[in-house]
Structure 1
Amino acid sequence: MAQVRIEPWHEDDLDLLRQLNSPDTRRHTGGPEADEQVLARHDRYVHFADTGQGCMFTLALPDGARVGSVGYWAREWRDQQVYELGWAVLPAYRGQGLATAAVRAALDVVRARRDRRYAHAYPSVDNPASNSVCRKVGFTLLGETGFEYPPGRMMRANDWRLDLTAPPTGS
């Protein structure tokens, strides 16, 4: 199992967010954002846990290197209150199971809240790595759907759902 821990997003994580704002990392999510958008996103991430609606985390390796992000947030989906999860890993650290381990850790946090039955993830149908993460952590594929992300841009996404009341799967 990949060695990674998740830590709440901090003020000093702006450089990581700028690294994650690369064309390669953002190719399935609308492309890179302008720096003012990155600064606004960073501010939202820093203060997000205070809202009670979710939390953004960094992925930290045992040596302290910050190599990605994972988060969850409350949303309404098809008349249900659910949590949505999203994640990103820097290119140099992909293929090591870090996203899978981080999503499992974030799901542990979400399960402990005990206030929603389901979590969803909506990776692009063209993103095999993120769809694989969903499979590995036990999400069920409900099918393709139109999904607006970023705001104003429709994409084809897979709708993956995980029952938060069921025991975690995988190791």
Structure 2
Amino acid sequence: MNGPEVRIRPWVDGDLALLRRVNTPVMKKHVGGPETDEQVLARHQRYLNFVATGAGCMFSILLGTEREAVGTIGYAERLWNGERVYEIGWNVLPPFQGRGIAVAAAAAAVASARSERKHSHLHAFPSVDNPASNAICRKAGFSLLAECDFEFPPGRFMRSNDWCLDLTATP
């Protein structure tokens, strides 16, 4: 085996516990800090509705043959610089970081977004102060376009890198 056995599974109601596990000060350091329980519940409902509403898709990241939930990854529609694109984001729980799990999950999520043939581009906007997420973008085949001011969560702007992947290109 060349790396960890990683799979992604579309978001289900039982993933609320995982969402709460990633809602910590350490995990949310680069995106404005933890959310309230009310915000987590609203986010969970949005994730459950992504596919039905055509907004994107959220996944649990599963590791190994036991399929332990070790993180989240997903993409959602947004308007960026006048173009409808997908935006991707991920969280991998601290005990599982640094093992190639996020890169493998990103490859699977990119394949999912590409198979939809809905948008031409997939963007990621990690904070310029988040070297791990920026490295994941590079390793997953994204191209760095520029630094930008990016609003996430709503009402909070952060300095981010705009990474882009062409979904129409042959992998």
Normalising by structure 1, report the TM-score: 0.96
Aligned to 2:141: 138
Aligned residues: 168
Indicate the RMSD between aligned Cα atoms, in angstroms: 0.9
Whole-Å separation in 2 of the counterparts to 1:43 and 1:149: 18
Whole-Å separation in 2 of the counterparts to 1:53 and 1:47: 8
- What pairs with 1:123-162 in structure 2 (closer than 5 Å)? 123-162=126-165
Aligned to 2:35: 33
- 1:103-135 C-alpha deviation (Å, 9 max, x unpaired): 100000111111211110000000011100100
Structure 2 segments unaligned to the other structure (5+ residues): none
The percent of aligned pairs where both chains have the same amino acid is 56
Alignment of 1:59 with 2:52, yes or no, is: no
Normalising by structure 2, report the TM-score: 0.96
Moved over 4 A (4+): none
Question: Equivalent of 1:48, from 47, 50, 60?
Answer: 50
The one-letter code sitting in structure 1 at the alignment partner of 2:146 is G
Equivalent residue of 1:28, what SS?
helix
The one-letter code sitting in structure 1 at the alignment partner of 2:129 is D
The one-letter code sitting in structure 1 at the alignment partner of 2:138 is R
- 1:117-162 C-alpha deviation (Å, 9 max, x unpaired): 1110000000011100100011110110000111111100000011
- What pairs with 1:67-82 in structure 2 (closer than 5 Å)? 67-82=70-85
Equivalent residue of 2:17, what SS?
helix
Whole-Å separation in 2 of the counterparts to 1:149 and 1:124: 10
Q: Report the alpha carbon displacement of residue 42 of structure 1 after superposing the two structures with TM.
A: 1.0
Q: Report the alpha carbon displacement of residue 166 of structure 1 after superposing the two structures with TM.
A: 1.6
Question: Equivalent of 2:113, from 89, 110, 113?
Answer: 110
Structure 1 segments unaligned to the other structure (5+ residues): none
Alignment of 1:84 with 2:91, yes or no, is: no
Whole-Å separation in 2 of the counterparts to 1:80 and 1:46: 25
